[in-house]
Amino acid sequence: MCPHQWRIFMPTSLTAGTRFSVELQDVNNNILYQTVCASREELKTFIAKHGKSTTGYSVLGGAIFPMRTDTPAHFSKDFFLPTWAHFASKINNVVLKYFVAFFAVALDLVTLPVRLLTTAYQLYYNNKHKEKHPALELIGQRPDAHKVLEEGVVNLCYTIDTVKTSAPTIDGGDSFQNAEQTLVEGTIRVALRRLPGLERASSEKTTGNAYSGRNGVWVLSGTGFTSSASSSFAC
């Protein structure tokens, strides 16, 4: 989850209007790319282009086809023990992991001849359908881009910050105002390449805050509503 999410802060100034911002973060929440959008439509277009995951594959798909053929290491893993490497080995419960491992390895051994027969087709298919995720265009020049691609997953984090202010009133030479802020913060998990068993996940939280201002300096005076849901922009 994005580290900046679900925060309630006390700004020193507020400006009426709506601001849209978006970030791409790696699995350790390091910012890889960030930008500001001029409108909701521009934000929606950005998310539609960069927030769609590459289609993954199931246990059965990995047992029939050696999915990755780009490097010897990837091919070896996907050819010899794909079910163990991509599914069983990632189970956290130790007892359950060893129990599932027995069936995973058995399945990998039984289906090894099938993968031998489908290797040529998969080599042809991967060469014919080389996919480059649009997000890689934004982070491809970074020195750690290869590491991000190896991990295969980034978080797309967006913020919609809407502020409404009342007309100022003058009292004793001081200017007083009230403001309402609606803060929408969301995260969409994005697969940059074909990954086994990756669940598409998204979340969005909307928070309402109230502020009191005096001479342009604002303090948090109360929080209103908070709601959580799946991202309204999820692809």
> Is 154 in the same domain as 217?
yes
pLDDT tens-place string over residues 141-150: 788 888 888 8
The three-class DSSP label of residue 57 is strand
> Is 42 in the same domain as 101?
no
pLDDT computed for residue 130 by the predictor: 79
What band does 12 get if pLDDT is binned at 50, 70 and 90?
very low
> Is 140 in the same domain as 224?
yes
> Is 119 in the same domain as 141?
no
> Is 82 in the same domain as 117?
yes
> Is 212 in the same domain as 113?
no
CA atoms within 13 A on the CB side of 43: 24
Asked whether residue 7 is assigned to any structural domain, the reply reads no
Asked whether residue 4 is assigned to any structural domain, the reply reads no
Structure tokens, 86? 């991509």
> Is 150 in the same domain as 215?
yes
Asked whether residue 96 is assigned to any structural domain, the reply reads yes
User: What is the mean pLDDT of the segment spanning 1-5?
Assistant: 47
Asked whether residue 34 is assigned to any structural domain, the reply reads yes
Domain extent at residue 103: 59-128
Asked whether residue 5 is assigned to any structural domain, the reply reads no
> Is 194 in the same domain as 219?
yes
DSSP E strand stretches across the chain: 17-25, 31-37, 153-165, 169-171, 174-191, 202-214, 217-229
> Is 43 in the same domain as 143?
yes
The count of residues in the chain is 235
Specify the pTM.
0.79
User: At which residue do the structure tokens 């209007």 appear?
Assistant: 17
Q: Compare 227 and 28 and report the one with higher pLDDT.
A: 28
The rounded distance, in Å, linking the Cα atoms of 103 and 53 is: 29
The number of distinct structural domains making up the chain is 2
pLDDT computed for residue 10 by the predictor: 46
CB of 111 closer than 8 Å to CB of 151? no
Q: What is the average pLDDT value for the chain, to the nearest integer?
A: 88
pLDDT(1) > 70: no
Residue where a domain terminates, one of 128, 148, 171: 128
> What is the separation of C-alpha 230 from the centre of its chain, rounded to a whole number of angstroms?
12
The rounded distance, in Å, linking the Cα atoms of 82 and 87 is: 8
pLDDT(234) > 90: no
